[in-house]
Amino acid sequence: MSQRNTGVTSQVVNAQACPVREVLDRVAGKWSVQILVAASHGPIRFTELERGIEGISRRMLTLTLRNLERDGLVTRTVHPTVPPRVEYELTPVALELHETLQRLTDWAEHNRHYIAQARAVYDAEHRPELLDV
């Protein structure tokens, strides 16, 4: 993917038509990915997720799960027992997504030092104040 810029256009990307946006809207949230990862090993209960995902609030867990469910990425199964038992499980489509995300992770893993260093350099050059706070 390396065509050169003709210098002309730049009608670039339309946010609405752009599938990248769609994915990211679905995945980019602070918690979505963590839920996908946490649930990738099989069915998992609400409280397990709550305890497993450091720092998530009950509210956000619920909201995020609802959205994932709405998009057909997780299924929600209520076992009518007392006390109630609700299990969440990834759908096949979500498992695919999880795999795809793995690629992104690899990229991050692979380039984390590069980025960290780039930041350090940038900060040193553009915001020296930050160094001696």
Q: Point out which residues bind DNA (CB under 7 A).
A: 2, 4, 29-31, 45-48, 55-60, 62, 65-66, 76, 83-86
Token pair, residue 38, equals 């946490």
DSSP 30: T
Indicate the residue among 99 and 123 with the shorter CB distance to DNA: 123
- Report if residue 109 touches its own copies, rule: CB under 8 A: yes
Q: Is 84 in the site for its own copies (CB under 8 A)?
A: no
Q: Which amino acid is at 93?
A: V
Residue 124 interface partner, choices its own copies, DNA, none, CB cut-off 5-8 Å depending on type: none
Q: Most distant CA pair in the chain: distance in Å?
A: 67
Contacts of 46 (CB under 8 A, 6+ apart): 61, 65, 86, 88
Q: Between residues 28 and 106, which has the closer beta carbon with respect to DNA?
A: 28
| 21 makes contact with its own copies (CB under 8 A) | yes
Q: Is 81 in the site for its own copies (CB under 8 A)?
A: no
The CA distance from 36 to 122, in Å, is 33
